[in-house]
Amino acid sequence: MNSNIEHIFLHIGLPKTGSSSIQSTLFHKKNQIHLKKAGYLYPSSIERNHSSPLFSAFCDEPENYRLNIKKGFSIDEIRLYNNRNLFFLEREIRNTNSSFLVLSSEEFPNFSCQNIVHFKEYLTSLTNNEVKIDIIVYVRLPLLRAISDIQQTIKNGDTELVAKRIIMQRTKHFFRERIEKFLEIFGKKHLKVYEFEKAIKHPFGLVGHFLSVIGFNEKSIQPYKFITVNQRISQVSADIISYINFKKPIIINNQLNRERYREDCHCLFKIRGKPYDIRRSDKEIIYEYSKEDTFWLKEQFNVDYTKKPYFDIEKEDYVYGENICEDIEQAYTKASPVIRQLIYQYFQEEVKDTKMTTPNKKQFLKTLKKIEEKKSSKRLSLIKQLKLVKNYHLIKQSGLFDKSYYLNNNEHSDPIKSNPIFHYLKVGVDQGKDPSKDFNTAFYLQRHLDVRNEKINPLVHYILHGKSERREIRKNFSPLDFLILSDSNSLLNWVFDYMRWHPLIYLDILNTKANISNSDNTITQERIKELLNYKNTNMNPDQIVAGGVLYVEKNAEKVIRKIKAYKPQIKICFIQTASEITGTELLQKSMEHKENLLILLAIKTKATGLSDKNKEEIINRIFAFLAIESWKPI
């Protein structure tokens, strides 16, 4: 609990109201310094957009959350992701001297009432029960918001037809469904609603208006670097992307399409042309749908969007001029093979003579073919190019590639002018370059001959297979810091399942399972060496403690002596069952602690026989023994 924080601002980002610009500006490194000097904390330990970390942690079904699906997360990976985010967020809040906390998310409006109550309780538990919480919401003219929302939905992976249907239905009770629940839980006094159209007229734009709302004056706003993101796309871009999403949806059966990835259409966002728009008839429908909702907004917050917009101008069509074709060619060179194929197919099937004459279309398709041939001349086949792009995003999302390290440890090769990850995939491996200080390329290929023989990129192999197979990735590795032993499988399983979610603990899962299921309790010197030489990978060794668990039914003292003789500094926690020890006597008698040895006593029944209080105290004793922060997993 941090009683320094007196005031929390929750920015409830409604779609297309500049939320990304607010988040990017507050997250910027230089702006973070200004914020902290002024006594404000915008957490930097989690993603700049708090939507994914917080919604995933507090929503009812994170496995069905679209962003988790797009990331390809399994249920276990989602739980690890949630625990990691909350752990570092709580640590940052706990250690700050700031008086004001600012959180911003476009997913807050999608919380259920129960989620909001839970989240409010969570925030007060981190600060204090008297903390003031204010809700900040920007609203926008329903028609303009709906048009922007449709094009954003297309960008996110839907077709235009589906996007229109979703947004039109959403318009009926858009403001009320998203704002009323916050009104009920926090009260009108703490709910600040501002018109987007007025806010952008602030001398420093929308972000300047937001800063003024949370307590800054114009003089204190002036030093900030303002970042504007997520601009509108053109009608041309929307039509092509909609076609791509129809032919190859990014999500199929609630899973990420293996031929697509999250950002594969970003290259099409900058195609010039008339801004995205919808037909006049669609605008009429949106207006009619939004009537009741706008009257509610006016009644509650005196924001008047009830006046009917002017619909006289019909949506303008377009032709493929020289600038548009140049932009498409440029995007085509950057697109993945799958997207290139679909762009080519789009012009073959969808572009009519009214937008591009037949001779011009033939010439344009020839140009696209030449671009494809040029790529092939570089000996990158369609399959190889697809693999290259997939591997790039695989490495990028893994967090195992350190760009600074890669660029700064480059004394044996020419200066790197291309993207470091692409450089590593194309030539870096042949040059023996390492993607980070923790991954030794040459060692991985020498150690694992199957990878070298199959000519697989070593880091890609490790991400896909090697990590789960616990393959060695470097010559110098950190041995285990601790071992937890027990003569009870159920106790060991329970402790393991609790501790495995701690963001600062890395547990040896494979060895754990092998020992729990192994009926042979003979501990050999070789087996001890195998456990103690387990690698601490993909973690900062200064923060992470690596450990394993071991099941021993008999001769526990002999096992401990062997381990201590092999590595005297290792910490050992032994959880021993004793049928005569029950209830409150358990924790009163489990106090023995000598140097690096902790012995805890537990009842000789299933782990579920322990009360929650006893379980928590046992776990806290282990955390204290390991000198690591306590953490209760979600």
Tens of pLDDT, residues 449-459 = 677 767 789 99
pLDDT of residue 519: 45
Rounded CA-CA distance 320/273 in Å is: 9
pLDDT of residue 218: 92
Is the model's pLDDT at 384 over the cut of 80?
no
Q: Are 221 and 211 in contact (CB under 8 A)?
A: yes
pLDDT digits (tens, 9 = 90+) for 12-46: 999 889 999 999 999 999 999 999 999 999 999 88
First CA to last CA distance, the chain: 18
Q: Where are the domains of the chain?
A: 7-141+190-221, 235-275+319-378, 383-466, 482-625
Is the model's pLDDT at 208 over the cut of 50?
yes
pLDDT of residue 473: 77
Residue 371 pLDDT class (50, 70, 90 cuts): confident
Q: Domain 482-625 - what CATH class?
A: alpha beta
pLDDT of residue 515: 54
Rounded CA-CA distance 374/386 in Å is: 16
Average pLDDT, the chain: 84
Residue 371, φ and ψ in degrees, nearest 5: -60, -40
pLDDT digits (tens, 9 = 90+) for 589-609: 443 446 788 888 776 555 456
pLDDT digits (tens, 9 = 90+) for 295-320: 999 999 999 999 877 766 677 788 99
Mean of pLDDT values over 103-131: 94
Measure Cα distances from 212 to 172, 208, 220, 221 in Å.
32, 6, 9, 8
CB atoms within 10 A of CB 277: 19
Measure Cα distances from 278 to 161, 283, 291, 311, 312 in Å.
11, 7, 19, 11, 13
Higher pLDDT, 613 or 584: 613
Residue 437, φ and ψ in degrees, nearest 5: -70, -20
Please tell me the least confidently modeled range out of 2-11, 197-206, 510-519. 510-519
| This prediction's pTM | 0.72
Is the model's pLDDT at 538 over the cut of 60?
no
Mean of pLDDT values over 509-527: 55
pLDDT of residue 60: 94
Is the model's pLDDT at 359 over the cut of 50?
yes
pLDDT of residue 587: 45
Residue 222 pLDDT class (50, 70, 90 cuts): very high
H-helix or E-strand containing 9? strand 7-12
Contacts for 374 with CB less than 8 Å, ≥ 6 apart: none
Higher pLDDT, 292 or 399: 292
Higher pLDDT, 415 or 277: 277
Residue 275, φ and ψ in degrees, nearest 5: -60, 155
Number of helices followed by number of strands (H, E) in the chain: 29, 13
Is the model's pLDDT at 577 over the cut of 90?
no
Residue 374 pLDDT class (50, 70, 90 cuts): confident
pLDDT digits (tens, 9 = 90+) for 223-270: 999 998 867 899 999 999 999 999 999 988 888 787 887 778 999 999
pLDDT of residue 478: 53
* Residue found by looking up tokens 């011009």 in the block: 360
Residues in the chain: 634
Q: Are 591 and 599 in contact (CB under 8 A)?
A: no
pLDDT of residue 593: 44
